[in-house]
Amino acid sequence: MTVVDIPPPLPVRDRSDQRDPSAGALSPMLRRLAEEEATGVLVREHGTLYLAQGRVVHAESPLAPGLGVLLTAHGTLAATAWQRATEHLASPADAARLVLDAGLLPEGALELCHLDALYDAGYFALAPSSTPGRFRYDGAPRLGPLPSVPVVALERETLRRRLLLHRLWPDPAADSAPLIRADPAGAAQVPPRRRAVLERVDGVRTALRIAHDLGRQAFHTLVDVRRLTADGLLAPMPVATAPDPPPAGFHPPAPLTVTDPDIALLKRLRNALEAL
């Protein structure tokens, strides 16, 4: 009898242990762009991230004060100098390099404000979105000596900030609604930084508008607002709700006309007595 040796089966790769490196990322697209060291602009619903070789070099969001606001609000740079620098330059990064080259601003101060603006706008740019992001290759600003940030570092900081806000006060309603004072008498016990926020609460301004007026980072202002909300000193403006519409086919009853015979009799008796 002939014995045939049967070769062992070929090994099969176990795909259960393979993990998508972008799994758990705030933006899987951003994580993939970082891995391929892409250069360009990622436009998301609440902000824009500028990449150079897979690193975030600049961020902008309509919900956060820009680099110019942070530079000029507290005298770090004269507002007129920033205005002149931005008159003919489309990018705030180019304007920053111009004032730096002109010796109008210490490099360390510019780097600090640049990172503050980047993390602040990046926090909003990475917020949950209802629309997909769009990436355009090339076009990232040239920042020269200004620092860039790894994508994982921006995502890690964004998650840390979300957790901090949730721990301070879990309801995000005060983040975007007009604010009102809930306890005017308690303002005297508030530290100066939060008192400056509270003094601008007027039923019209939102937290983000207050951040712009104060020249502060929007996220730090959200922290102050949530602390004040947790202390019962302010609250979001209540939203007026319209009454629920009647169900289909519903018709209100016609108004009732009540005729009381006793009233008619009393009127006749009164008229007869007046005629005597």
- Global pTM value: 0.77
Kindly report, residue by residue over 131-151, the tens digit of the pLDDT: 889 999 986 566 666 789 999
Are the CB atoms for 208 and 66 separated by under 8 Å?
A: no
Pull the structure tokens for residue 258.
């009540």
Q: Cα–Cα distance between 151 and 145 in angstroms, integer?
A: 19
The pLDDT assigned to 266 comes to 60
Backbone angles phi, psi at 151, to 5 degrees: -60, -45
Kindly report, residue by residue over 160-176, the tens digit of the pLDDT: 999 999 999 999 999 99
Q: What residue type is assigned to position 273 of the chain?
A: L
The pLDDT assigned to 18 comes to 47
The pLDDT assigned to 188 comes to 73
The pLDDT assigned to 139 comes to 64
The pLDDT assigned to 135 comes to 94
The pLDDT assigned to 76 comes to 83
CA distances from 38 to 19, 118, 133, 137, 153 (A): 22, 18, 15, 7, 17
The pLDDT assigned to 243 comes to 59
The pLDDT assigned to 105 comes to 84
User: Exposed, middle or buried: residue 122 (CB in 10 Å: 0-12, 13-18, 19+)?
Assistant: buried
Q: Cα–Cα distance between 104 and 82 in angstroms, integer?
A: 10
Q: Per residue of the chain (276 residues), what is the pLDDT tens digit?
A: 555 455 444 344 444 444 444 445 789 999 999 999 999 999 999 999 999 999 999 999 999 999 889 989 888 888 888 888 888 666 777 777 788 888 888 888 889 999 999 999 999 999 998 888 999 998 656 666 678 999 999 999 999 999 999 999 999 999 999 999 988 777 778 999 999 999 999 999 999 999 999 999 999 999 999 999 999 999 999 876 555 666 665 555 555 454 555 566 666 666 666 666
The pLDDT assigned to 124 comes to 97
Are the CB atoms for 66 and 81 separated by under 8 Å?
A: no
Q: Cα–Cα distance between 62 and 51 in angstroms, integer?
A: 19
The torsion angle over the Cα atoms of residues 214, 216, 222 and 223, rounded to 10 degrees, is: -110
